[in-house]
Structures are given as structure tokens and as C-alpha cells.
């Protein structure tokens, strides 16, 4: 059968969608890039905020009008399956629970009809090599944030073993992947449930540095929580600094610049503790790129709390800031608290967004005039290429080698979200010691 997979939300969802696609291919099915030509559509759902959840329901209805069978998985399945109600416009709907992705081939087999849609040459080509691969480290997390729906949907922390993670990385490298993205709700809690002797993130970083590989590769560690990073921070940043395969990148959400709001969010750290983590990271990794998240309009957030968030961003100047307006999620403690007026939340969101764009442009301009080594990871419009520097900053090139190539780039321009440059010639992959 022809299978179409579509994912929304975080990098973990994207990685699980990739894995579902590989499972379908190994079971003898073919991936297609358009739902209009598929026998089965797989929707990896996200429910991080209310508008996203509404979009998932609408997208489900659109798929049922297009494909004979729709499979819904992702964060909405455990707790919000009731949203997928009413007669679908066309085909049947089935649900694949989180942590049961391995059951996809069996489910596809049960849906096989006598006359599946024919497979084209273009669809067979979709089996081609990907340049990057998401590798999920764990399900669930070890935090108890008062507003977070995802931790309720994904459940208690369950980490993949170190050998299993390395096996998945090795498998990806054998298929020609050159960029590994380690992802989960919280990567720094990986292994925490295993006790004091269990491998933690610094050990994984070291293992990836010594992993035998036919082609050199880079890896990026995804989002982590300050409270779970804190006990391993010194060892983790040292491990990143010692490993040329590791992108010098840190996604560390702060969520608010106010200790009072952080306490209400049950984040498990203070602003000063977050500040010290950032200072340690930048001292150990001078060219680090810092990404963080801010939730604006949390219940009870005052004018002073909002001002504290602005001041923290002005002080730390992260290169990337994801601003999200608070959205009450069902079954979370924060859903019971009195929300702020929408007008107030919108004004605060605009102020944070304007600041982050100004800061990002200023931080990006520091790189103009430099020559750096980049890894080409994507094709862009008009034959352009996107390359990633050692700290994961994207550089748009008008042309260049194919994805997976290393290239020396001259940076001559900056935007708020990316750099602009020209390729100077082939570059040599950084080798581990």
C-alpha cells in the first residue's frame, strides 16, 4: 500500500514520524509525498496548545476526505481521542497509541484492501537517502510543569538504553545520514530513572565522539530542562567542547524571567539558576548558540513579571527565542486558574517578539565577514543550499554542493533568523580526536 505520513509539533514528533515511515517501508509498503495518492494517511498529532489541537482535528477531517484509511497517533491519542468525533467525511479512522509505533505494520496489514492504489516511479524514489535523522532518546520526562499537556500524554520517563541509541545512530549513518538530531521532551533527563550508575547525557556525547563511522557526521542535542541539566551541566558542556562532532547549540527553555511565575509553573529552578547555566555554557563553549522559550500571559503574570522576562532576554541575548502565548490545556493544574485578558497577552507577545527579532539580528551580524566550515543539510528554493555552522547557525548559499557535503563559506549578510554567504570550496569534516 501507499502510505502518507504527516507530523506536527516538536522534534520528537518529527522523529517518530520518520520512524513510522521506515517501519512502513520495511513492511513492504511505499511512502508517498501527497495524501491524494495514498491508501493510508498517518497523522502524528500535537496538542501543545489549544489552537494546535483544533488544527489537528481539522486536519484529520481533511485527510478522511482524501484517503481511504486514516491513522491518528501522537500526543492527542492518549487523552484527547474524544476530539476525533462525528462521522468522518470519507474513510475510516484508526488510532495508534504512543509507545506502540512498532504495531504500525500489523495495523497496515489489517487495512490492506483488495485494490490498493498503484505505485508510481516517483513514490518509489521517496525511499531515497535522507541527510538528517531524528533519534528519540526517551519517552516522557521527569518534570511536573503545571501547564504542560505533553508530559501527561507521554507519561513517565522511559529512556532508551545507550546501546540502543548508538545502534539507531549507526543505522542512520550506514544509510548515508550526516546529521543526527537527538530529541525528546527533555534530553537532559535521559537515563535519570536508571539510578546514579546509569549512563547520562555526557556519556552519550562521549560515545558518539568515538563511534566508528564511514562518513563524518555532526549531531545536535535537542531541548532540555534547566532542572534536569543542572546536575550534569559541567560534565555535559565539557563533553560537547571535547567533541568536534557535536553542534555547539543549547536549547534551554526559561519560560519566564520571574521567579514567582516559575514557581507557579512548577519549573523547578530559579532565574538565577538559569542564568548560571547559560554563563557556564558560554564560558565552556564561546561560540555557543542559545535557544530558549518564553510563555507569555501565564495566569497571574503581572506587569512586573512581564518586565522581568524582557530584562532577562535583554541581558542574556539568546540567538533564538520561541514566544508562545499561554493556552490552558485540559487536565493540567494551570487550566483551573483565571486566565489573563486576551488583549493583554497579545500586547505582551508582540513586545517579546519585537525584542527577540532585534536581538537575533544583532547577534547574527557578529558573523558577517567570517569564513567558516559548514555542513550542507538542505536544498532551498531556486537551487540554493542551506549549510549549518559548528553552532548550528543556518547559512543560505545561492548554490553549492549537494546536501551532506562539507563546504567553506564566506558570510556576507545577516537576517534575524539566518546568515547569507557564498561557498568558497570543499571543506574538510571535523574529525574526533
Q: Model confidence over 400-417: pLDDT tens digits?
A: 899 999 999 999 999 999
Check residue 122 and give its pLDDT. 38
Its CATH class, for the domain covering 371-426, is mainly beta
Return d(Cα 69, Cα 127) in angstroms, integer: 22
Contact between 58 and 84 (Cβ < 8 Å): no
Residue whose C-alpha is closest to residue 84's, from 107, 99, 63 = 63
Strands 385-388 and 394-397: antiparallel
Check residue 428 and give its pLDDT. 83
3-state SS of 214-225 is: CCCCEEEECCCC
Check residue 214 and give its pLDDT. 82
Contact between 213 and 174 (Cβ < 8 Å): no
Check residue 244 and give its pLDDT. 95
Contact between 77 and 97 (Cβ < 8 Å): yes
Contact between 45 and 8 (Cβ < 8 Å): yes
Residue whose C-alpha is closest to residue 63's, from 8, 104, 22 = 8
Q: Domain 132-365: what homologous superfamily?
A: tm_1862 like domain (3.80.30.20)
Check residue 78 and give its pLDDT. 93
Return d(Cα 353, Cα 359) in angstroms, integer: 10
Check residue 91 and give its pLDDT. 79
**Burial of 213 from C-beta contacts in 10 A (0-12 / 13-18 / 19+):** middle
User: Domain coordinates of the chain in residue numbers?
Assistant: 2-125, 132-365, 371-426
Residues of the chain under the 50 pLDDT cut: 114-128
What is the second-level CATH architecture of the domain 2-125?
3-Layer(aba) Sandwich (3.40)
Contact between 191 and 236 (Cβ < 8 Å): no
Amino acid at each position: 500500500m501507499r502510505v502518507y505520513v504527516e507530523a506536527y509539533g516538536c522534534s520528537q514528533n518529527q522523529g517518530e514520524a520518520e520512524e513510522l515511515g521506515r517501519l512502513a517501508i520495511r513492511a513492504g509498503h511505499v511512502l508517498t509525498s501527497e495524501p491524494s495518492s495514498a491508501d493510508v494517511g498517518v497523522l502524528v498529532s500535537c496538542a501543545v496548545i489549544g489552537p494546535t489541537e483544533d488544527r489537528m482535528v481539522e486536519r484529520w477531517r481533511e485527510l478522511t476526505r482524501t484517503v481511504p484509511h486514516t491513522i491518528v497517533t501522537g500526543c492527542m491519542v492518549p487523552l484527547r481521542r474524544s476530539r476525533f468525533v462525528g462521522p468522518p467525511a470519507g474513510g475510516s479512522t484508526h488510532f495508534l497509541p504512543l509507545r506502540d509505533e512498532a504495531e504500525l505494520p500489523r495495523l497496515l496489514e489489517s487495512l490492506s484492501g483488495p485494490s490498493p492504489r498503484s505505485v508510481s516511479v516517483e513514490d518509489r524514489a521517496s525511499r531515497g537517502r535522507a541527510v538528517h535523522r531524528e533519534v528519540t532518546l526517551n519517552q516522557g520526562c521527569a518534570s511536573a510543569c503545571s501547564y504542560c499537556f505533553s508530559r501527561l500524554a507521554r507519561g513517565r520517563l522511559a529512556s532508551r538504553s545507550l546501546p540502543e541509541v548508538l545502534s539507531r545512530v549507526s543505522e542512520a549513518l550506514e544509510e548515508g545520514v550526516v546529521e543526527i538530531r537527538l530529541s525528546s521532551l527533555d534530553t537532559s533527563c535521559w537515563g535519570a530513572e536508571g539510578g546514579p550508575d546509569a549512563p547520562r547525557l555526557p556519556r552519550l556525547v562521549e560515545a558518539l565522539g568515538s563511534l566508528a563511522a564511514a562518513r563524518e557526521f555532526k549531531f545536535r542535542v535537542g531541548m532540555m530542562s534547566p532542572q534536569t541539566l543542572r546536575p550534569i551541566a559541567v560534565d555535559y558542556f565539557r563533553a560537547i567542547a571535547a567533541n568536534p562532532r557535536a553542534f555547539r547549540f543549547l536549547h534551554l527553555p526559561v519560560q519566564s524571567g520571574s521567579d514567582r511565575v516559575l514557581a507557579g509553573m512548577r519549573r523547578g529552578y530559579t532565574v538565577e539558576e538559569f542564568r548560571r547555566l547559560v554563563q557556564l555554557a558560554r564560558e565552556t563553549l564561546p561560540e555557543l548558540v542559545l535557544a530558549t522559550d518564553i510563555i507569555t500571559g501565564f495566569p497571574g503574570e503581572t506587569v512586573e513579571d512581564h518586565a522581568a522576562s524582557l530584562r532577562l532576554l535583554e541581558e542574556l541575548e539568546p540567538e533564538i527565542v520561541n514566544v508562545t502565548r499561554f493556552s490552558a490545556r485540559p487536565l493540567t493544574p494551570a487550566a483551573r486558574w483565571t486566565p489573563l485578558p486576551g488583549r493583554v497577552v497579545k500586547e505582551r507577545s508582540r513586545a517579546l517578539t519585537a525584542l527577540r527579532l532585534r536581538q537575533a539580528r544583532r547577534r547574527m551580524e557578529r558573523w558577517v565577514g567570517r569564513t567558516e566550515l559548514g555542513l550542507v543539510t538542505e536544498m532551498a528554493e531556486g537551487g540554493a543550499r542551506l549549510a549549518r555552522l559548528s553552532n548550528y547557525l543556518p547559512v543560505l548559499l545561492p548554490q553549492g554542493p549537494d546536501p551532506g557535503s562539507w563546504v567553506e563559506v564566506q558570510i556576507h549578510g545577516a537576517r534575524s533568523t539566518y546568515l547569507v554567504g557564498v561557498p568558497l570550496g570543499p571543506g574538510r569534516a571535523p574529525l574526533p580526536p
